[in-house]
Amino acid sequence: MCNDHTEHAMGRRALLVTGAAAALTLSSVSFANAAPSSGETETKTVRGTLPTGSPDFVYLPVDVPRGVREIRVAYSYQRPTMPAGTQGNALDIGIFDERGTKLGGDGFRGWSGGARTEFFIRADEATPGYLPGPVRSGTWHIALGPYTVAPEGLPYEVTITLTYGSPGATPRPVHPPERAKGRGRAWYRGDCHLHSVHSDGRRTPAEIAAGARAAGLDFINSSEHNTSSAHTAWDGLWGDDLLILTGEEITTRNGHVVAVGMDPGTFVDWRYRARDNRFGHYAREVRRAGGLVVPAHPHATCIGCNWKFGFNDADAVEVWNGPFTPEDEVALASWDNTLVSSARSGRPWTPAMGSSDAHRDPDPIGTPQTVVLADELSREAILAGIRAGRSYIAESAAVSVTFGASGGRGLHAGIGERLKVADDDPVTVRLEVTGAPAGSTARIVTDQGTLHTAALPQSGTGTVEWRTTAEYATYVRAEVRRPPASPGVPGVPGPFVALTNPVFLGQGS
């Protein structure tokens, strides 16, 4: 085994601006020109320090010779203790092969963010988060992502080990089917935002599938951070009772977006900020792959999580992410404001959905879940239901709601639909709830705000009716909430139990 150590001096870097996030490219790491004997390894280690203000991505080129069976990368970096209010060091990692690092190009081979300290790639297998396939000769690039950098800089060390030998065969990928047996036209429950060991989660795909069934779900969406590696990880885990969609959580530095139900094997790039004006292009890439564009936890306060791309390219928006927090309250209010604007202007509206974003125990899968009215349990039908807003959000499979409005000459409209009545026609709004916790209340919300509140029976099952006109309410939607967490603070409602998308009233434009 051959070992070498390389220092990357700061002055030897070149700053490259490629039309998206600025990137820093370091000096190349070279290995032997002639391949050693099969089974032999060659290792080189690179050390350096990234300064405060480093670009989002730093690329370490690695010249890979012929005859390599496996590339293995390990890295570490210093994490000094910082005073409160000062960011410390956090460094992500991934890799691109000899096809290059071009934004949206074909070179992507994997990303683990900060979830693991080493990975390998070979033809027959790869670390979760990475794509198996031949290790071809050429210049590969290890991608370092300085998420945050301490004031004194980020010292790092990267070790690359090449193993020589016959490459082996790459297995043919097996992807989930696009249809399950289902129950015909029905309400189907799903969780579209989940993480496994293929990104920063701790559950295996098998554990997620078992958890989804235990939570009463009919469908899930694979949504790993910035990788499609999990698309092939569900063999034998689907069934007549569980539809598995393939997607990605596209994790940019200006917000996260869940791509729901894309063609298996689709990877969507994440290396841009709002200032780069690239999000619209990649939103179209998601839709070209048959998926939906869903901004995730848009008002989360973690670094890089707050949504800054606007909602013009969104097919739906995640207004409830995991167990209730005040961030969800802000997301709901922000989404409701877009409803008001859309309803009064006649522009298309953006449906709401909710997902668990579960990563590990004890994160509950299916809390919350999106309940979709679909013609069948298939990828096409589920996505069509979400896109049309024929859905509501519930904290668990124990909670069900039925919501609609009737008026005019025997007309009725359900969630996501329009009741086409005259402005002065009487309209009856009806909400039926089952399975809510004791002490819950039901709220009818319109473009004017919450106009009706009623306590549900202690059994958690009950019916609420309210009457209005299209002139008075442009739309109606329903909320079911627990008792307020701070009952002494007036005007602060309790945590969510269920939320519906709106029913629009009137002829529309």
DSSP string, 114-178: TS-SEEEEESS-B-TTB------SEEEEEEEEEEE--TT-EEEEEEEEEEES----PPPP----S
Residues 6+ apart with CB under 8 A from 302: none
Number of helices (H), then strands (E), belonging to the chain: the values are 4, 31
Count of Cβ atoms closer than 10 Å to residue 348 Cβ: 7
Neighbours of 17 (CB within 10 A): 9
> What 3-state DSSP class applies to 204?
coil
Q: What contacts 323, CB < 8 A, 6 or more positions away?
A: 364, 367
- In eight-state DSSP terms, residue 179 is B
| Predicted local distance difference test score (pLDDT) of residue 59 | 98
Q: Is the peptide bond before 426 cis (omega within 30 degrees of 0)?
A: no
The amino acid that residue 376 corresponds to is E
DSSP state of 454: E
Residues in the chain with pLDDT values less than 70? 1-21, 33-35, 488-489, 491, 509
Which of 183, 235, 189, 181 is CA-nearest to residue 212? 189
**pLDDT number for residue 17:** 36
Angstrom distance (rounded) from CA 449 to CA 135: 59
20, 276 Cβ separation under 8 angstroms? yes
How many angstroms separate the Cα of 199 from the Cα of each of 98, 118, 249? 23, 13, 10
- Secondary structure E strands in 297-341: 317-321
Q: What is the 3-state secondary structure (H, E, C) of 333-376?
A: HHHHHHHHHHHHHCCCCCCEEEECCECCCCCCCCCCEEEEEECC
The amino acid occupying position 55 is: P
- The pLDDT assigned to 488 comes to 63
Q: What is the structure's pLDDT at 508?
A: 83
Tell me the pTM: 0.94
Continuous segment of H or E residues that includes residue 296 = strand 292-296
Q: Kindly report, residue by residue over 208-241, the tens digit of the pLDDT.
A: 999 999 999 999 999 999 999 999 999 999 999 9
Q: Which candidate, 294, 258, 257, 292, places its Cα nearest to that of 274?
A: 257
- pLDDT given for residue 246 in this prediction: 98
pLDDT in tens, 236-253: 999 999 999 999 999 999
Closest residue by Cα to residue 167 from 139, 136, 130: 136
Residue listed under structure tokens 């990234």:
50
